[in-house]
Amino acid sequence: MHIADFIIIFVYIIAMLMVGLWFHRKNQSSEDYYVGGRKMTRWHLGLSVVATDVGGGFSIGLGGLGFAMGLSGSWILFTGLIGAWLTAVVLIPRVYKIAFTEKFQTFPEMLSHHYGKKVAFWAGIISAVGYLGFTSSQILAGAKLTSGTIDGLSVNNAALIMGIIAIVYTALGGIKAVIYTDTVQWAILLSGLTFVGVPFALHSVGGLDVLRASVDKEMLQLTNIQGSVVVNWAFSIIPIWFIGMTLYQRIYAASSKKEAQKAWFLAGLFEYPVMAFLGVFLGLMAKVSIDQGVIPAADAAGIDNETAMPMMLKFILPTGALGIILAAYFSAILSTADSCLMASSGNFVRDIFKVKNTKSSLKVSQIMTFILGGIALVLALFMPSVLDLMLLSYSFMVSGLLAPVVGFIFFKQPKPMAGLLSMASGAAIFGFFHFSGIDLPYQYAPVVPGVLASLIVLFIVQKMGKAQVRE
């Protein structure tokens, strides 16, 4: 990679760290740190939501899906569109007023309001662990991107570089830095892929006609996918919009209920079709680049689906353009890594250790962010697949946390025992099938029986006996 590309990336990283330092000086309490003073508007929120949800993991993961199955891989983000719009219609009207009145900062605090402290405590643990894994997936995404484009840099060394940047930036700035820079980062990613990545990729392989002739016909169709795969994605991804700590923080940060709803409608459209097809198309182009010899055979040998696209970019982009594209992907990775790390930190500080909202709580929050970031970095060093780690984290969280949310949406007086037992059963069933290695019918993932079990337990316990008192 040319020195000019390194300079572009270096300047970008320094700029992000300076933003984090600037907001570090502005933050006065954990209220500022976690929900940004509750003054955010639709565009900042909407772009931050999509930047956080799609981020680097899905960007790299989408490239891997495009490489493996073609355009059909875009269905994974159609679930994001459904989840975003359902949230805007069903969830936000239910939670915004309560959150604004009670000054909530985390997702489990909402559960505490409806079920009591025990449910909130265990929800905090599930959410914190899940988002720790999700943060690791983003660090791994950055590592694969970096090692695929810089000669001689291993994935582990790249993970150390990306992890340290993400941890320092997030710990300093808090949610304001995250949301405001997400707006810029998403613009960089979208414009970089649209106006630099796609045109150069097409030119390098000889255009659309060569693309059509070089891949199997089903790779260009939307039906090259098993129904069970779509079901697995739907069970893992749609519910995350109802239980995601990062998304609740943005609902809480909105200046009004309507601003929050409009932000979620915007986010859904940016996920599908915009980012969905951009990501898988570049992955498909990476496959063609190998077949056409754009990526030399020696370099293509042994690369996996998720490193093929970064490898293609290294060979097709001219000096300067590669730096811009890499900065765009780093933007996406930071957009998700910082938000997920903030979520896990908030769960530990507010929901597990019950630190009060004082001036000293800001320091506690920043220290916790550093500690959890270090743990996420270590996890990233031992995981092979970005998308697998993301979906595992999603599946664990939704198996344990979806049912209590369904409970407070549909029941006027949800029972604490219904919330606790549904969480326990969902997490336990998911864990059993995931770690036992038992194959489910039709290749369904463990998240499917996990979610179904938790919902069944919720409704059975809710309908049994008398109303309970929240503890």
Report pLDDT digits (tens) over 269-310. Answer: 999 999 999 999 999 999 999 988 998 888 888 788 888 998
pLDDT band at 360 (very low <50, low <70, confident <90, very high): confident
pLDDT of res. 365: 81
**DSSP labels for 235-301?**
HHHTTHHHH-HHHHHHHHHBSSHHHHHHHHHHHHHIIIIIIHHHHHHHHHHHHHHHHTTSS-HHHHT
Distance (Å, whole) CA 170 – CA 173: 6
Say whether pLDDT at 348 is over 80.
Answer: yes
Say whether pLDDT at 401 is over 90.
Answer: yes
Query: Averaged over 448-471, what is the pLDDT?
Result: 86
Query: Averaged over 433-438, what is the pLDDT?
Result: 93
Residue 315: both structure tokens together: 């060979």
Query: Averaged over 233-260, what is the pLDDT?
Result: 92
Number of Cβ atoms within 10 Å of the Cβ of 318:
11
Number of Cβ atoms within 10 Å of the Cβ of 10:
12
The residues with which 40 forms a beta bridge, in sequence order, are 254
**DSSP-derived secondary structure letter, 40:** B
pLDDT of res. 223: 95
Q: Where are the alpha helices (DSSP H) in 302-320?
A: 305-316
pLDDT of res. 283: 94
pLDDT of res. 33: 56
pLDDT, tens digit (0-9, with 9 covering 90-100), for 222-238: 999 999 999 999 999 99
User: Which among 48-57, 131-140, 439-448 has the top mean pLDDT?
Assistant: 439-448
Distance (Å, whole) CA 403 – CA 405: 5
Judge contact between 392 and 422, C-beta under 8 A.
no
Say whether pLDDT at 403 is over 90.
Answer: yes
Say whether pLDDT at 36 is over 60.
Answer: no
pLDDT of res. 142: 84
Distance (Å, whole) CA 344 – CA 130: 8
The residues with which 254 forms a beta bridge, in sequence order, are 40
Residue 16: both structure tokens together: 């992000």
Distance (Å, whole) CA 171 – CA 342: 8
Say whether pLDDT at 467 is over 90.
Answer: no
Query: Averaged over 385-409, what is the pLDDT?
Result: 93
Say whether pLDDT at 128 is over 60.
Answer: yes
Distance (Å, whole) CA 366 – CA 27: 11
Give me the numbers of helices (H) and strands (E) for the chain, helices first please.
22, 0
pLDDT band at 358 (very low <50, low <70, confident <90, very high): low
Say whether pLDDT at 135 is over 80.
Answer: yes
pLDDT of res. 465: 62
pLDDT of res. 120: 94
pLDDT band at 82 (very low <50, low <70, confident <90, very high): very high
pLDDT of res. 15: 79
Say whether pLDDT at 108 is over 90.
Answer: yes
- Half-sphere CA count of 33, side-chain side, radius 13 A: 31
* 311 vs 333, more confident: 311
Distance (Å, whole) CA 93 – CA 219: 41
* 240 vs 22, more confident: 240
Query: Averaged over 154-171, what is the pLDDT?
Result: 84
- In sequence order, what are the residues at sequence separation of 6 or more whose Cβ sits closer than 8 angstroms to the Cβ of residue 139? 159, 162, 163, 166, 333, 337, 376, 377, 380
pLDDT band at 43 (very low <50, low <70, confident <90, very high): confident
List Cα–Cα distances, 172 to 36, 255, 341, in angstroms: 14, 24, 12
* 28 vs 253, more confident: 253
Say whether pLDDT at 167 is over 90.
Answer: no
Distance (Å, whole) CA 257 – CA 263: 10
The architecture (CATH level 2) of 3-381 comes to Up-down Bundle (1.20)
Say whether pLDDT at 264 is over 90.
Answer: yes
pLDDT of res. 337: 80
- In sequence order, what are the residues at sequence separation of 6 or more whose Cβ sits closer than 8 angstroms to the Cβ of residue 442? 227, 228
Residue 411: both structure tokens together: 């029941």
pLDDT of res. 152: 81
**Longest CA span, the chain:** 70
pTM score above 0.85: yes
pLDDT, tens digit (0-9, with 9 covering 90-100), for 436-446: 989 999 999 99
Say whether pLDDT at 23 is over 70.
Answer: no
User: Which among 11-15, 64-68, 360-364 has the top mean pLDDT?
Assistant: 64-68
High-pLDDT (> 70) share of the chain, % = 90
pLDDT band at 131 (very low <50, low <70, confident <90, very high): very high
User: Which among 57-61, 195-199, 336-340, 433-437 has the top mean pLDDT?
Assistant: 433-437
Q: Please state, rounded to an integer, the average pLDDT across all residues of the chain.
A: 87
pLDDT of res. 47: 84
